[in-house]
Structure 1
Amino acid sequence: MDLHWLKPLLGRPSPFTTVFLDVTRAEVAGEAEAADRWKSLRRSLERDGAPAAVLDEIGELIAVPTGGRGPHGRVIIADAEGVRVDRVLSDPPAQSVGVHGPLPALLPAIRSADEAVTALLVVTDRTGADLTLRSLGAAAEGASETEAVEGGHDDVHKTREGGLDRRSQTRAEDSWQRNAEAVAAEVDRRVREKALDLVLLTGDTRAVGFVRDALGQEARALLVEVAGGGRGEGVNAAAFEAKVAEAVTKFRATRRKAVLDRFATAQGRGENAVTSLDDVVEVLRRGQVAELVLHVDALSGALGERELFVGPGPLELATSAEDLAAIGVEGEGSRYTADIALVRAALGQEAGVTFAEDGAVDLVDGVGALLRWSDGSTPSEAVPTQSGDQARLRTVV
C-alpha cells in the first residue's frame, strides 16, 4: 500500500493531534451524533494541551457529515498549524480516541489507506460517457465532479428493415465505435495522469463493449465492468452502488493478498522476508524494507504496548538505549510505542504497509517485512538471526 500522502507529516511541526472517531449516524448507531462524541474527546485533548485553534478546526470538519451510510469511522491528524489528514474508515473504531503528542498516531490513517480506493467511474452510452473520479473510503467521497465526454458522432440510431436501412445500421455502429474511441482516449489520458486503482465501466451493453475494446493496455489492466449503471433515467442507484461496493471490496482483498503472497513466498525461501520485532527493526534502520506487514490487531495489540528507542531521524530506531547509541544517536533519544516507531521508519524509506488477518501469513510479534534487497548480514528466517530468538528458527534442510 502506497503511503506517499502521509510522508509529509514527518516534516511537519509538532505536536500532533490525532482523532480516531466513530462517525456513524445516530439513527444507525442508536447513540449520540458524531459531534457529541467529539465533545468528550475534545475535553480530553484540551487537558493534554492540544491547541484550541486546532481543536476548533477539527470540530468544524466533524460537524460536516461524511455522507456515509451505515457504521463507519473517521481519522483526522493535525500538526501544530492545522489539519493535514482527514479520511473516512469503512469500519468505526471500537472506541473513539484522541491522542496529542510529539508524533501522530499513524496506524488509524494507514488502516484507512488500506481501505481507500481511487476509481474512475465511466458510465457510457452510444453518444459518449460521464466520467467521475471517486475516492472510495476517503473523506472526499461524494464530493467528486462528473465530466461528460461526447463523441461528436450523431448517427447513432438503427432502423430495422430494407437495404437503405442496413446502410443506416452500418453508419450507426460506426458512430458508436467512434464515440467509444473518444471515450476510451479520455479514459486512457486519465489513467496516465492520475494514480488510479480501478476503472469501473458501466452503461449501455454495446457501448461498454466498444469502449472496453478501444482502451489502451494500462487502462485495461485496471478495468472492472459493473452492470446496472446508465446515463438515463430508470437506473436503480442503490442496487448499482451495492455492485460498486462489491467490486471495490474484491479489489481491496486482491491487493492485500498479492502482497501477502509475495511475503509468504519469500519467507518460505528464507530470503527477502523477516519477522519478529527485533529483526524488523534491524532491516528498517538499514533501509531494506519494501513493505511492512502488520497483524490487523496491531493498533490495539502488543505493538501498541512495546516501546522502541528512536532518534531524530525516522530510520534511527532500536530496541534499547544501548543499541540506539551504537548506531550513532547521541543521548537516550525518545521512547515511542512500537507501532508508531515502525510506521514512522517505514514512511522514512517510502515503504508500504499491509495488514494481515489471522492465519494469512506467519508473523512473530505481529510484524514482518518484505525486503527490497538482502545481503549476508540480513536477518534470515532459515538460519540463526541477529535477534537470538531460537524459538522462531526454521529447520535447515
Structure 2
Amino acid sequence: MRLHFLDPLYARAGPFASVYVDTSRDIDDPDKAIELRRRHTRSDLIALGADPATADASADAVGTDADLPGRHGQALFATHGEVVLTEELPQPPPVDKTRYTALPDAMPLALQYAPDIPYAAVVLTRVEPKGGATAPEDLLVKVQTGRWPSSAVAPRALTSLRVPIHGWRQEAERLAAELAHLIDLGHADTLVLCGDTWARGVLVNRLPAPLRNRVATVPGDERDVESGRALLEPQLAALFRGSLSAHDRDRLESFAAQRARHLAGEGLPATVAALQRGRADALVVNRPAQGWPPIWIGADPKQVALSATDLETFGATGYEEQPADAALLYAAVATGAELIVVPRQETPLEDGIGVLLRY
C-alpha cells in the first residue's frame, strides 16, 4: 500500500494532537454522544500538554462527518491550532484514543486503510419501463470505483444510467471498454458484478478474454446501496476479507524470495537498519499489530535507531524517544517506502515486522 495520503502530516512540524474517535450514527442520539466525545477530546489533550488552540481545533473537528451514516470512526491530526488531516475510519476504534506527541500517531489509520484494493463495482437491475407496462423493461446500471476498505466510508461518485433492454448490448460494449481501461491503468484489480444474470453475461462477454478472470460475481441488488456508503459495501467486505491488492501480492512474493535467500529483512532491528540506510522498499507488518518498545529519532527521517547511543554514533543531535509505530511510519513515508499488512497466521514475522529491501 502506498502511503501518499499521509504526506500532509509530515509536511508540518509537530507536536501533533492525534485523535481516534467513534463517530457512528447507528446509535440512539448520536449527536449527544459525539458532543460528549468533543469535550473529552479537549480535556484529554489539555491534560497531555497540548496548547488550547490545538485542543480546540481537534475537538471542533470531532463529528464533522455527521452526513456519513452507519458505524464508523474518525481519525484527525492537528498541530499549532490547525487540523492538518481528517480521515474516516471504516471501523470505529475499540476505545477512543488521544495522543499529543512529536510525531503523529498515524499507524492505526494506515492499518485500517490496508489492503487498499482498487476495484470497480457494477450493479445491473431490471426496472419498470418509463413508457408503461407494455413497453420493454429498462436496465438500471450503477457503477462506482474505489479502494477497499477506505471506500466504505469515503465512496467516490456513483454513476447511474438507465438503458432500454434492447440497447444493452451496445451500451455494454462501451462500458466493458471503460472497465478494461481501468484495469490497464491499475485503477481496478477486480470487477465486482451484481444483479441481472443475463445483463452480467452480456457485459462479461464483451470484456477482453484475459480480464474475465478479474470478474467476481456477488449476490444482491440496488437495495444494498446506502447513501453515503460504498456501493455493495457488505458484499465487498465479504469478498475482500483476508485479501491483498495485486500490487501488494507482488511485493509480498518478493519479500518471500528475499527470505528464502536469507537476506536480513525480518524483525525490528533489521527494519530499523534498513530505514537508516534508505533501503526499505516496504514495511511488512503483521495484523494484529504487535507492540514494540519505543525507539529513537533525530532531525532527519533516516536518523532512527533502537537507542540514543546508536544515534550519537551517526552524529545526530536533538534526538528523542518516540513510540515505535509512529517513528517507523514517519521514516517509511519520508523515504518513500510502502506498507504491506499481512495476517499473522499466514505470514508470521519476527517481532511482527519485516522489510522488503530496495536494492
TM-score scaled by length of structure 1: 0.72
Equivalence for 1:225? 217
Equivalence for 1:52? 53
**2:285 pairs with 1:285:** no
Equivalence for 1:327? 314
Letter matched to residue 291 of structure 2: A
1:180 to partner: Cα distance: 0.5
C-alpha distance in 1, partners of 2:247/2:270? 25
1:337 to 316, 320, 323: 323
1:25 to partner: Cα distance: 4.5
Residues 61 and 95 of structure 1: is their aligned pair in 2 closer, same or farther, counting only changes over 3 Å? closer
Q: Is the 8 A contact 2:119 2:146 kept in 1?
A: yes
C-alpha distance in 1, partners of 2:168/2:151? 37
**2:91 pairs with 1:104:** no
Equivalent pairs, count: 342
1:129 to 141, 159, 176: 141
Deviations 1:302-340 (A, max 9, x none): 31xx232222221121223332233342x2522212222
Letter matched to residue 281 of structure 1: V
Structure 2 gaps of 5+ residues are 126-137
Identity of aligned residues (%): 25
Letter matched to residue 278 of structure 1: P
Equivalence for 1:302? 291
Q: Is the 8 A contact 2:37 2:62 kept in 1?
A: no
Runs (4 or more) in structure 1 with deviation over 4 Å come to 115-118, 125-128, 189-194, 216-222, 235-241, 252-262
Residues 137 and 23 of structure 1: is their aligned pair in 2 closer, same or farther, counting only changes over 3 Å? farther
Equivalence for 2:265? 274
Secondary structure at the residue paired with 2:85?
strand
2:191 to 193, 199, 215: 199
1:265 to partner: Cα distance: 4.5
Q: Is the 8 A contact 2:183 2:189 kept in 1?
A: no
Letter matched to residue 69 of structure 1: G
1:106 to partner: Cα distance: 1.5
Q: Is the 8 A contact 1:321 1:333 kept in 2?
A: yes
Q: Is the 8 A contact 2:77 2:85 kept in 1?
A: yes
**2:148 pairs with 1:148:** no
C-alpha distance in 2, partners of 1:62/1:127? 38
Letter matched to residue 311 of structure 1: G
Equivalence for 1:11? 11
C-alpha distance in 2, partners of 1:102/1:108? 17
Residues 307 and 240 of structure 1: is their aligned pair in 2 closer, same or farther, counting only changes over 3 Å? closer
**2:51 pairs with 1:65:** no
1:194 to partner: Cα distance: 7.6
Structure 1 gaps of 5+ residues are 158-174, 374-397
Secondary structure at the residue paired with 1:35?
helix
C-alpha distance in 2, partners of 1:327/1:3? 27
C-alpha distance in 2, partners of 1:60/1:302? 29
1:7 to partner: Cα distance: 2.7
Q: Is the 8 A contact 1:128 1:183 kept in 2?
A: no
C-alpha distance in 2, partners of 1:50/1:35? 21
1:109 to partner: Cα distance: 1.5
1:270 to partner: Cα distance: 0.9
Equivalence for 1:389? none
C-alpha distance in 2, partners of 1:241/1:341? 33
Secondary structure at the residue paired with 1:335?
strand
1:242 to 231, 234, 242: 234
Secondary structure at the residue paired with 1:87?
strand
Q: CA RMSD in A?
A: 3.7
Equivalence for 1:35? 35
Letter matched to residue 49 of structure 1: A
C-alpha distance in 2, partners of 1:45/1:53? 8
Q: Is the 8 A contact 1:3 1:113 kept in 2?
A: no
Letter matched to residue 203 of structure 2: V
| Structure showing greater Rg | 1
Secondary structure at the residue paired with 2:346?
coil
Q: Is the 8 A contact 2:123 2:194 kept in 1?
A: yes
